[in-house]
Each structure stands twice: as C-alpha cells, then as structure tokens.
Amino acid sequence: MCNPVAIAAIGFGGSILQGIGAAGQRETNAAAADLNAAGIDRDIGAEREATAYTIARTREGLQRTQGSLRAGYASNGLALSGSAADVIRESAIEGDLDLAAIQWSSGEKIKGMEFQRDTYKWNAGQERAAAPLAFITPILGGAAKFGSSFG
C-alpha cells in the first residue's frame, strides 16, 4: 500500500509545480503586454512621421497653388491687389486650416494610441505584481492538504 505521507508529499509537490506554472503564465502575460506597448510605440512613431510627411506635401501643394494663382493673374495683366489678392489670401487661410486639421487629427489619434500603450504597460505591471501570488496560492493550498493528512 501507498504511504499516506508519500501521497501527501507528491500532492504538495504538484502544488509547487502549479504555482510555478501560474507564476510563469503571469510573466508571459506581462511580456505580451510589454510587446503590445512596444508595438504601439512603433505605431506612434510611424503616425508622427506620416503626419510630418502629409503636412510637408500639403504645404508644397499650397505653395504651388499660390504660385499658379500669382502667375495666372500676372499673365492676364491683373495686379496682385483687390480681389486677386483676396483670392490668394483666402487660399492661404484655407491651406492653414487644412494643415491645422491634419495636425489636430493626428494628435487625437496619437493620444488614443498613447492611452492604449499606457494601458498595456499598466496591465504588464499588474501581471508582474500578481505572479508571486499566483505562485504561492497553490502552494499554500497544497500545504494545507498536506498538513491535514496528518490530522
């Protein structure tokens, strides 16, 4: 027959293995959250670069448009004053509004990504904080069973 102490000891050993597995799972979860946060950091950088490029291209387009307007008015013998100047000025204002809209939209998108990144980082910290408890809980349960096998 099997010795009850040996069986209890095996059960306690199993509890230790469960604790190791649970703590390892928490560490894995934390690492996954860290990877997600790092991916979002990469996306934030890409968004900033894309926005800078879009703004630069939009500015170039605005400069070309204004240059075309000036050249068109000049080739028709119109002075760059009065309604011609107003059109050029209004075009510049519209361009500035377009640039501001691009910047604002990108800023809002980045804020959302930063919040998501920070949430992943917070989750990683919570998983790491829970790892010791995930390890010790099954061990305590196993120790209680082991101890009750003698009572």
All structural domains of the chain with their residue ranges: 4-148
From first to last of its 151 residues, what are the pLDDT tens digits of the chain? 567 667 777 777 888 888 999 999 999 999 999 999 999 999 999 999 999 999 999 999 999 888 888 788 777 777 666 787 878 888 889 999 999 999 999 999 999 999 999 999 999 999 999 999 998 988 888 777 766 666 5
Q: What angle do CA 103, 108, 112 make, to 5 degrees?
A: 145
**pLDDT given for residue 104 in this prediction:** 97
| pLDDT in the model for residue 10 | 77
pLDDT of res. 3: 74
User: Nearest-CA neighbor of 141 among 2, 14, 7, 4?
Assistant: 14
Question: Token digits for 78?
Answer: 């119109």
In this predicted structure, what is the pLDDT of residue 26? 94
Report the b/e string of 27-49 with b at 16+ CB within 10 A: bebbeebbebbeebeeebeeeee
Assess contact for 40 and 120: CB atoms under 8 A.
yes
Alpha helices in 1-151 (DSSP H): 4-75, 83-148
* Cβ atoms within 10 Å of 113's Cβ, excluding its own: 17
Q: What is the DSSP letter of 80?
A: S
